[in-house]
Amino acid sequence: MNQPVNTNTSATGGYLLPTPQTPETGELTLEQFLQQVLVGVSGLPGDLVRPKWQPNPPKQPDIFVDWIAFGLQEEDADTFAYNSIDTNNNNVFMRMEALTLQCSFYGPNSLRIGRLVRDGFQIGQNREALQSAKMDFVSTSKMTRAPDLVNERWVNRWEMSVYLRAEDLRTYPILTFLSSSGTLNALGGTGVRVLPIYPKEEA
C-alpha cells in the first residue's frame, strides 16, 4: 500500500504527516487479516469467507453451501489521543479504536457457524493473531435471523456484529528541544531574573 510522503518536520513548518511505517497486520490489508481470523475461528475454507461490498462481487455460493460475508462497518476512535516521546526522541501518537465487524452467515448450518465464530473468540489461543496485530476481541451482538428471498427461494442468513479493539500508533516528525545556549529572562516576584543557558556537554 502506498503511503503519502511529506518531508516537513516541526522545524520546517507546514502540515505534518506520520513517518511511513509497516502496518501491524504486516503485508496484509486489515480486510485480508480479518478474513484469515474468521477462517480460523469458523473452520470454513478461505474462499467461503468473503469480504462484503467488493467492486466486482463474485457469484454467490449455492443455497445449500455454508459461507460468511463480512465487512468493517464502523470505526469509533477515543476522543483524546496519547502523545509521548520514545527512546529515540520521536513524537509518538497513540489512539484506541473500537471496530465493528459485521458478519453475515449463509447456508443450512449458518446458525451453527455463527455460534462457532462467537464462541471461538472466547478461546485465548484464537485471539493470539489479533493480539499480535495490537487488536483484541471485545464482544459480539446477538444473532438475528434475516433470510433473503432469491429466485423465489429463501436463503438462510443470520447476522451478527463482532466488536474489536485496536491500537493505532503513529510517529510524527516533531523535533524535541535537546539543548541550547544563551540567556532566559524569568519574571518572578522580585522582578526579572536573567538565567544562563549552557549547551549540553558531549559525553
Start-end of H helices in the chain: 30-42, 110-120, 128-132
Q: Does position 179 have pLDDT exceeding 50, yes or no?
A: no
Asked, for residue 25, whether it belongs to a domain, the answer is no
Asked, for residue 3, whether it belongs to a domain, the answer is no
Place 19 in a pLDDT band, splitting at 50, 70 and 90.
Answer: confident
Strand partners, 184: 195
Cα 117 to chain centroid distance, Å, stands at 20
The x, y and z cell numbers of residue 70, run together, are: 463480512
The x, y and z cell numbers of residue 123, run together, are: 478461546
The alpha carbons of the chain give a radius of gyration, in whole angstroms, of 25
Determine the Cα–Cα distance for residues 71 and 195; give it in Å rounded to an integer. 60
Contact in structure between 70 and 103 (CB atoms under 8 Å):
yes
Interval 56-80: pLDDT, tens: 989 999 999 999 999 999 999 887 7
Asked, for residue 19, whether it belongs to a domain, the answer is no
Single-letter amino acid code for the residue at 94? M
Angle at 28 between CA 24 and CA 31, to 5 degrees: 95
Asked, for residue 128, whether it belongs to a domain, the answer is yes
Asked, for residue 38, whether it belongs to a domain, the answer is yes
pLDDT score of 62: 92
Single-letter amino acid code for the residue at 121? F
Mean pLDDT, rounded, of the chain: 83
Asked, for residue 8, whether it belongs to a domain, the answer is no
Determine the Cα–Cα distance for residues 19 and 9; give it in Å rounded to an integer. 10
User: Does the pTM exceed 0.85?
Assistant: no
CATH code of 42's domain: 3.30.2000
Residue 78: domain span: 30-197
Interval 104-146: pLDDT, tens: 999 999 999 999 999 999 999 999 999 999 999 999 999 999 9
Asked, for residue 6, whether it belongs to a domain, the answer is no
pLDDT score of 127: 96
Asked, for residue 71, whether it belongs to a domain, the answer is yes
**Total tally of structural domains belonging to the chain:** 1
